[in-house]
Amino acid sequence: MPAHILVAGGGIGGLATALALSSSRGRHRVDVFEQAAVFGEIGAGVQLGPNATRRLQQLDLSPGLAAIAAKPEALVVHSAGSGAVLARLPLGDAMQQCYGAPYFCVHRADLHALLLDAVRARGTGTLVTGARLELVETSDDLVCVSSADARAWEGEALVGADGLWSLVRQQMDTPSAAEPPRVTGHTAWRALARQSDLPAALRRQQVDVWLGPQLHAVAYPVRGGEWLNVVVIAESAPAGDARDWDQTSSIAALQQATGRSGIALQALLEAMPGWRAWTLSDRAPVASAADMAHERVALVGDAAHPMVPYLAQGAGMAIEDAVALADALADAGAADVPHAFARYAQARWQRNAQVQARARRNGEVFHATGAVRLARDLAMRTLGARLLDQPWLYGG
């Protein structure tokens, strides 16, 4: 008997989970509950390493993904001050050959829409919007969730895909359930523009990263290369409410926090319209399998392991979780859910912890000052692609 599974949260992690579960041998019934009035995503980019695109291919999304993605030629790291190139990693065909899957950059809304269409096409459950879940109750056989407006739903399992401030996590019987996320004191400013609206010298089809003292910036193409996504992250006090992913900002607010950059980066930042700000929070790396699942409740994505975006893998790990969860439940019926969730958590917690820890360490390296910065730049110049490539991550 397939299980009836409730998924809290319809972001990238929740929809990937619903798709993977309904595509797997289990053919489970999966209902998704999203607090927003309509399913959607904010206007920003996401880089997807081969580890993530390989899983999306497994979910039969290859043609749709190729249609929305940009395939950057290379990752190029520069000094933010001088603009000098410190290191270069070929992406494009090199990633495909090395890891058997591409390195893509996508617009979050495009990826989200691709997942949503695929979940709808499977038609193996309902998609409920305007459902802000507030209460989780469990028994030996069932899980019941209820919403702020006093509606309730029952299933045989619950997957918390409700992001950084996860309500499901708070109500789980796990070691770290009560701890709030850590507000990092780092802020991300981001902007998107049509490449054709930018001066020709600023258009690009590669991932550019600039490293400066206590800040870094990233620019990459999305939407088949027609749009450019730019993010600047600085060690600077939150611009506003830490829970607001989408604060209105400006180039003036950005420059006030970071100062002016070198000429090349400065020109790009000044050409970009519509800056938004995003306060960054994370959690300490997952400490055990018990942090990811208990009995009939499991967590995926940011609900389980929110991380700073310095390895560009938060969504990637959510997608990996989704496929692993479906694998664990593939031959499981309702009665086997607790064992299947335990297997899932055991399979995932160490990789997620490693990625969270590495993301934090990258922040220290990217934002280094003084002697550490000089040593970093020397290592980048000497080792180049060998330092930038991540076989443990992309090959996993």
Closer to ligand FAD by Cβ: residue 34 or 208: 34
Minimum gap (Å) between residue 168 Cβ and ligand FAD: 8
d(CA 308, CA 112): 21
Count of alpha carbons within 13 Å of 294, Cβ hemisphere only?
18
Does residue 220 have an active-site annotation? Answer: yes
Query: How many CB atoms are located within 10 Å of the residue 201 CB?
Result: 10
CB 101 within 8 A of CB 71: no
Asked if 121 and 241 count as a contact pair (C-beta separation under 8 A), the reply is no
Q: Which is nearer to ligand FAD, 11 or 26 (CB)?
A: 11
* Position among 23, 35, 206, 258 found at the interface with ligand FAD (CB under 6 A): 35
Asked if 9 is part of the footprint of ligand FAD (rule: CB under 6 A), the reply reads yes
Binding residues among 157-176 for ligand FAD as defined by CB under 6 A: 161-164, 167
Nearer Cβ to ligand FAD (36/379): 36
Residue 324's contacts (CB-CB under 8 Å, 6 or more residues apart) are 344, 347, 348
Q: Which residues of 148-250 form beta strands (DSSP E)?
A: 152-155, 157-160, 182-194, 207-212, 215-222, 227-235, 247-248
Q: If binding means CB under 6 A, how many residues of this protein chain bind ligand FAD?
A: 35
Considering only residues 183 to 222 of the shown chain, the ones binding ligand FAD according to CB under 6 A are 188
Ranges within 300-319 binding ligand FAD (CB under 6 A): 301-303, 309, 312-316, 318
Does an H or E element contain 333, and which?
none
User: Phi and psi (nearest 5°) for 155?
Assistant: -150, -175
Binding mask 272-301 for ligand FAD (x = CB under 6 A): ------x-x--------------------x
- Token couple for 78: 């520069």
Catalytic residue of the set 99, 103, 220, 344 = 220
Q: Does 88 bind ligand FAD (CB under 6 A)?
A: no
Q: Tell me: does residue 36 bind ligand FAD (CB under 6 A).
A: yes
Nearest to ligand FAD of 2, 131 (CB atom) = 131
Nearest to 46 by CA among 201, 194, 227: 227
Member of 12, 91, 127, 286 binding ligand FAD (CB under 6 A): 12
**Minimum distance, C-beta of residue 333 to ligand FAD, in the bound complex (Å):** 26
Q: Smallest Cα–Cα separation from 163: which of 341, 8, 394?
A: 8
Query: Please, what is the minimum distance in Å from the beta carbon of residue 46 to ligand FAD?
Result: 4
Question: What is the smallest separation between the CB atom of 111 and ligand FAD, expressed in angstroms?
Answer: 9
Give percent helix, percent strand, percent coil of the chain, each to the nearest 5. 40, 25, 35
Write out the two tokens for 143: 């899980």
**10 Å Cβ neighbour count for 198?**
18
Contact segment (CB under 6 A) with ligand FAD among 60-68, 156-164, 175-183, 261-269 equals 156-164
Question: Segment near ligand FAD (CB under 6 A), from 23-31, 126-134, 150-158, 206-214?
Answer: 126-134
Which sequence positions are flagged as catalytic? Answer: 220
Positions that interact with ligand FAD (CB under 6 A)? 8-14, 33-36, 46-47, 131-133, 161-164, 167, 188, 231, 278, 280, 301-303, 309, 312-316, 318
